[in-house]
Amino acid sequence: QVQLVESGGRLVQAGASLRLSCVASGGTFSTVGMGWFRQAPGKEREFVAGISSNGGWTAYTDSVKGRFTISRDNAKKTLYLQMNSLKPEDTAVYYCATSRNVLFNIYTSPNDWGQGTQVTVSS
């Protein structure tokens, strides 16, 4: 089992940038796909982005394409989400998660979850 700890969330104004981090401990980080989800108040948790175990393949939900970039550093056991041109509708708790295999896409059922980090975008 992998333990995940997210950080980097905070209050920002629309148009700003943020980088979220997710540090893993335990398990085998470099052999599984990783992903980011988010949950806004009153809404279901939704897939944001996913990345393969070696970082060579990524996937994004349509609403963040061109603004968000997912990446990973397997040596540091860290997953990142670079968020640019933030909008108020990006306000949510952001969670990182592991896959049970080498890929992570919108259809992946996550295995491990972090506790989340709050991102708030003011207009």
Please write the tens of the pLDDT for every residue from 1-39: 889 999 999 999 999 999 999 999 988 889 999 999 999
Tokens of 66: 């061109």
Q: 63-83 in b/e burial notation, b at 16+ Cβ within 10 A?
A: ebeeebbbebebeebbbbbeb
Give me the mean pLDDT over the 71-85 stretch: 97
